[in-house]
Structure 1
Amino acid sequence: MQYQISNQPVAGVQASCIVVTLDQSGKLSDAANAIDQASGGFIQARIDARDIEGKTAQTLLLPAVAGIGAERVLLVGTGKETLKSADAVKILNAIASATSGYSGNVALALAHLATDTLPAAWWAEQIAQAYGNALYKYTETKGKKDDAAEKRQPDSLTWLGDDVSAAFSKGEAIALGVAYAKELGNLPPNICTPSYLAAEAVKLGAAGALDVTILDEEELEKLGAGAFVSVAKGSSEPGKMIVMKYQGAADKNAAPHMILGKGITFDTGGISLKPGLNMDEMKYDMCGAASVLGTMKALLELKPAINVIGMITSAENMPAGHASKPGDVVTTLSGKTVEILNTDAEGRLVLCDAMTYGINNFKPASLVDIATLTGACMAALGRVNSGLFTTDETLAGELQNAAAYSGDKVWRLPLEDDYQELLDSNFADMANIGGPLAGATTAACFLSRFTEGTPWAHLDIAGTAWNSGGKAKGSTGRPVPLLVNYLLAK
């Protein structure tokens, strides 16, 4: 999609649709008032008829009106109070949903909504993402495709106001990354295997400035990554560890910032088998990996002057005669031993060896892992906030700031030493679960033992990576917006 900036009089703007606003008191924005006057009071007549009340994100589509250049007018409510970011996003999503099916140009008279808290650049960035969400549609494994319907979408967006071109570019890059992460998450697990994710990383590398390395299961076993292998060996699909190196900084040797995604492309629970109900959704257990690929895609579009390592640790967790059993003890790449009390706590096993590999080989300035790790986090935070765990206050602040700006929310959960004893084992250095209480925290405690002093944070996205049930079912692409904003601030 193309993005344009214009300062021409609103009534004369040529567009398939122009978007203007009113608040809940019925007050029209200056742009809406200009159109109302040029059309002989057409908008005010609709307000007087109570066709629209101006509630937050309420919309009313009006047909072509004599006296204005646009073919349609979308009237959007902004509510009755100063807009918070969550309400602003609702408004932008409503606009994108209402106009994404029109070809031609959509003009946006929204500059008056900008504030010190939500500047014009923020609005432009978010509207680009809103259109990305509105236009995304999964079709890959559907037999009948309506090509004509897919092609019907805006050719361009015109922002009526000051130049926000850079913000549009950033928002579009994030939207591309989100759509990519959604697509990977939504693919069925017989297609999106560890080998598929590895091939996607190679494609990204070929298309942009990425150096990609793939370590297979056999290599990792030789290296001593016993925790990873304990998960991967139960499947006929070979496990992979994927490393993507982006070097955008002037100093190519500057310590990189690492993001590491859990990529369990299907999780049966292994020998500790999950219940059958909704098990199909365990294809989403690789959404951490998808978010890393989506973030790297966005970085290739934006080309920031930083060094980033994107890592994915990927396997299937399956029951088999040679799969790990509860009670097994395995030796991690770090040399620490783990008693596997539950084979369904596999994500931390593949992540810990990847953390050790990444820290030993790249000496990162920071490490953030992203994982659909625990149902306990979902139970605590639902589908609104991702769980944030770290003892590094600087890193916590950076991630919280990125979350607040992007609207990709996080909530910080405890990571205190008092919880570590729940992982005690009589037969190994630690167990892979800590019992029925504080499950999200004990999972983070487990990972913390493999950080080796590196500034580290853990994002548990079990509740936010996908939506369940009905028409809403599907990957969300989170936390790509959070990760991109976090890395761009480095």
Structure 2
Amino acid sequence: MSLIQNTASSDAVKAFASSDIQAIIDHFGTDSAAYINHASENSFSGWIQIPSSGRYHLARILKNKGENYEHVEAARRAGAALAGWLNAHHEAAVQIEGEFAAAIAEGCALRNYKFTELFSDSEKKKNKLVSIFLPSCTKEDFEEVSVRVEATCIARDLVNTPVLQLNAEKLAYTAKQLGEECGFHVEIFNKKKIESLKMGGLLGVNKGSIDPPTFSIMEYKPDNARNKKPIILVGKGVVYDTGGLSLKPSTAMDTMKSDMGGAAAVIGTMVAVSKAKLDVHVIGLVPATDNRPGLNAITPGDVITMYDGTTVEVMNTDAEGRLILADALHYAKKFNPKLVIDLATLTGAAARAIGTQGIVAMGTAEKKVFDHLSDSGKSVYERLAIFPFWKEYSDMLKSDIADMKNIGGPEAGAITAGKFLEHFTDYPYVHFDIAGPAFLSAADGYRTKGATGVGVRILFDYLKNKA
């Protein structure tokens, strides 16, 4: 049974939220008025009521301050607080009504997420909350929030799963299984096929691993698709990153199962788009491997030949994500795409620049594309920080012995990584560096500790609006 349901429940905790205080008084009766008056009119907007005990839980949502998307985000964060309260009080169900019901439910459901699969008794580790009822929500809002939450949690599961349980092959076949369940087609290239295509970036990174690489092509193409040319999503699928021979410090390696956050976001988005039956043609590409220093691993100074024939001097083997993405971006040309968006936990520079609060974005697509993506980012609060993409940054990638090198130096690292990827494109292109928000060391509202599933919600909103 789905966590979020569009039915009513007589025995669930009741929650009500609205920007109109009078509506709350009308809903609960005048006996509540005295308690309402203790709250500031500019910050109050919701009640949580436990009918059996008469206890109340106050949900605070900004009122008459800021833009509408900030109100909705405040509602999500109120929902996250609600989830914490419900689980702390061993409540199994909540019924949410009012103007911000869908947003509160989204925050509640995302905060309720836990990765419990690897506990010896996973049932004991699960949260108490198992049902969120939205009886007054419109069918459209209910379906949207349900799909968005489910797809985000799928992406979180993928990122939170260690490489021992999720190598490149398992990632590819998990995508295939999801495609069969949700209605999108998946083709998987094995190592032999990748070698026949001469994808030198993906094969180069894989040289240090005992596990073979994979390249997954996911496609959702409904008969009524509005776009004649597909929108392509490309996700970095480094299922574990040691840094290769440019070995990371052990403390920096602890969370590197998260280096396939871009791949997880693409897979999650394909799930959301297909389950919502959007009338848009979308293709997802995921090159996948781990990056290890074993076997015949490439060394700093080696030159590899990419899928498009470009020779690259590998100055740092820990700048591996751009190598596998480059092959995928060149492969995307065969589809003559309308737009290509890649997502990658690519650079520490992006995380240092803006922290965990947003996505670093750049590219060659038209301004209106970035405007629409920014609107979607605000809507779901996965906001974009758009970086410059001036041609001079490409000069920092010049090599003395090859066509280009894979790093640009200590300055503008996030941008030079994007410029490296741009070399392999000839279509409208957007690069999302999600290194900051993809994996958190502590919970932040409805963004749980560990994987956040960032990228799914902004892409689904963007594609929904295109549809």
Query: TM-score normalized by structure 2?
Result: 0.89
Picking from 326, 338, 361, the partner of 1:388 is 361
Q: Distance in 2 between matches of 1:356 and 1:181?
A: 25
Percent identical residues: 32
Aligned match of 1:428: 402
TM-superposed deviation, 1:392 = 1.8
Q: Distance in 1 between matches of 2:344 and 2:372?
A: 19
Picking from 75, 79, 84, the partner of 1:91 is 75
Structure 1 vs Structure 2 CA RMSD: 2.7
1:371 aligns to 2:344 (yes or no): yes
Q: Distance in 2 between matches of 1:307 and 1:168?
A: 23
Aligned match of 2:14: 18
Q: Is the 8 A contact 1:174 1:298 kept in 2?
A: yes
Aligned match of 2:51: 64
Q: Distance in 1 between matches of 2:400 and 2:40?
A: 66
1:474 aligns to 2:450 (yes or no): yes
Q: Which has the higher contact order (CA 8 A, sep 6+)?
A: 2
SS of residue paired to 1:158: coil
TM-superposed deviation, 1:53 = 5.3
Q: Distance in 2 between matches of 1:353 and 1:22?
A: 49
Of 320-329 and 342-351, more deviation after overlay is shown by: 320-329
TM-superposed deviation, 1:16 = 2.6
Q: Is the 8 A contact 1:132 1:172 kept in 2?
A: no
What stretches of structure 2 of length at least 5 have no aligned partner?
none
Q: Distance in 2 between matches of 1:57 and 1:342?
A: 52
Q: Is the 8 A contact 2:236 2:321 kept in 1?
A: yes
Picking from 97, 100, 103, the partner of 1:108 is 97
1:130 aligns to 2:107 (yes or no): yes
Picking from 281, 292, 305, the partner of 1:307 is 281
Q: Select the structure of larger CA radius of gyration.
A: 1
TM-superposed deviation, 1:425 = 0.5
Distance 1:387 1:470, change over 3 A: closer
Picking from 61, 82, 100, the partner of 1:78 is 61
1:81 maps to amino acid = N
Query: TM-score normalized by structure 1?
Result: 0.85
What do residues 91-120 of structure 1 show as CA deviations (whole Å, max 9, x unaligned)? 3332354255434551313x2xxxxxxxxx
1:335 aligns to 2:309 (yes or no): yes
Picking from 25, 28, 33, the partner of 1:35 is 28
Picking from 123, 126, 130, the partner of 1:153 is 130
2:237 maps to amino acid = G
SS of residue paired to 1:32: helix
Aligned match of 1:144: 121
Q: Is the 8 A contact 1:21 1:29 kept in 2?
A: no
Q: Is the 8 A contact 1:3 1:165 kept in 2?
A: no
Q: Distance in 2 between matches of 1:297 and 1:157?
A: 22
2:341 maps to amino acid = V
Q: Distance in 1 between matches of 2:154 and 2:12?
A: 28
1:285 aligns to 2:259 (yes or no): yes
What stretches of structure 1 of length at least 5 have no aligned partner?
7-12, 112-122
2:82 maps to amino acid = A
SS of residue paired to 2:131: coil
Picking from 441, 449, 461, the partner of 2:415 is 441
Distance 1:18 1:55, change over 3 A: farther
What do residues 296-342 of structure 1 show as CA deviations (whole Å, max 9, x unaligned)? 11112101111111111111110024000111111111111101010
Number of positions where the alignment pairs a residue of Structure 1 with one of Structure 2: 454
What do residues 381-419 of structure 1 show as CA deviations (whole Å, max 9, x unaligned)? 110110111122232222112212221111100111011
Distance 1:78 1:485, change over 3 A: closer
Q: Distance in 2 between matches of 1:402 and 1:60?
A: 29
Q: Distance in 2 between matches of 1:76 and 1:105?
A: 14
